[in-house]
Structure 1
Amino acid sequence: MQHGSTIWRLVFALGILVISCTDTAVVDKNVAIADNTWHYDDQPRLTAHITDTGQRYNIYLNLRHTPDYRYSNIFLLVHQSGPGIKDTTERFELRLAAPDGRWLGRSTGSMYAHQELIRQNIHFPDTGLYHFIIEQNMRENPLREVADVGLRVEPVAR
């Protein structure tokens, strides 16, 4: 009987661990860039469904590129619209490489993944769908060797 009780305690503990590790992001999505070639008019659109106006959120930009990407940074425009807010456009620079040329992102095989916090502890004034459009804002068009771009919106721990 003691052995069976130990197994149930272990199963219970593992269940609690799995539940506590659940990702709480409202959206965490990346959009593939066809042929790793990002044109100005290719503007991925992502939507976050906000249901809790009392919650604060962090917003991250996600980007993956190949080792053949030619620059140490990238400029992006993020357009945001939604209920209760004025449509906005913000320009962000993501540093992708150190001054010595080493890539700063996590290496995942033949790709480098970056995630950068762009808005911290923000409040959405109303429930509903908030839309984000991401546009490359470099001088080169098309911009080569960018694999995908995306957005993560996650609640701030209370």
Structure 2
Amino acid sequence: MNIKPSALLAAWFLLLGLSACDPNQVFEKNIDLKDTAGQPYVWVVQEKPTFEFNITDTTQRYDVYFNVRNASSYGYYNLYMKHTLTAPNGQVLSTLLHQMLLMDPKTGEPRGKGAGDIFDHAFLALPAQQFHQAGTYKITLEQYMRQDALPGIMSVGVRVAKKATAE
């Protein structure tokens, strides 16, 4: 079997790229929002995605991000979303309403990363969060717009990462 050196090098870079993930990341999960009544990408007010993640190091501070993927057809420049953070013992630690700007309010230009008509956003929602007990935490997200069925939101998610130390 004769393999070209360039093919070996390309395969090595591919493997290196696949193994190079963020060492500070503790958890990340996104949930696609289902089609509702024949309309794709609709976040109905009754749908409250819940994310569970495990914390083992209680001395560490963590940054908690909310991920949002939207279509360019989304009808607003912002998204109001409420979170509820629950500790392993069932105690509610925080409930907060967040306003996330998906588009520039003046120009209507999409924010976030994307191309075509799909845009991804990562909003730092809970910076330098400290979790005081080890175990499984829950974050529940709710859309808090004045509309029962909110078209144009494709998925939502949560990312938890160890806060990088300033050097």
TM-score interval w.r.t. the shorter chain?
0.7 to 0.9
Distance 1:95 1:66, change over 3 A: same
Give 1:147 shift.
0.2
Partner SS state of residue 91, structure 1: strand
Kept in 2, the 8 Å contact 1:83–1:125? The answer is no
Write out per-residue CA displacement over residues 50-93 of structure 1, whole angstroms, 9 at most, x where no aligned residue: 01111110011100010100000000010110136841211000
C-alpha contact (below 8 Å) 1:60/1:117 kept by paired residues: yes
Is the 1:84–1:125 contact (alpha carbons within 8 Å) kept by the matching residues of 2? no
> Structure 1 residue 128 and structure 2 residue 135: aligned?
yes
Could you tell me which residue of structure 2 aligns to residue 95 of structure 1?
101
CA RMSD of aligned residues (A): 2.1
**TM-score normalised by length of structure 2:** 0.79
Offset of residue 22 of structure 1: 2.8
1:74, 1:18 → 2: CA distance?
Answer: 33
Residues 142, 82 of structure 1: alpha-carbon distance in 2 compared, 3 angstrom cutoff: same
Amino acid at match of 2:98: F
- Say if 2:102 and 2:110, in contact at 8 Å, map to a contact too: yes
> Does residue 82 in structure 1 map to residue 81 in structure 2?
no
CA contact (8 A) 1:85 1:125 kept: no
Q: Which is worse superposed, 101-110 or 91-100?
A: 101-110
Contact 2:73–2:117 (CA under 8 A) maintained in structure 1: no
Between the two proteins, the alignment pairs up a number of residues equal to: 144
1:127-146 → structure 2 map (5 Å cutoff): 127-146=134-153
- In proportion to residue count, which structure has more helix? 1
User: How much does 1:109 deviate?
Assistant: 4.0
Write the deviation string for residues 87-142 of structure 1: whole angstroms up to 9, x where unpaired: 12110000111111101111144311111101111110010000000000000110
Note the residue ranges of structure 1 that are not aligned, 5 or more in a row: 1-9
Gapped regions of structure 2 (runs ≥ 5): 1-8, 36-40
Where in structure 2 are the equivalents of 1:24-35 lying within 5 Å? 24=23, 25-35=25-35
TM superposition score normalised by structure 1 = 0.83
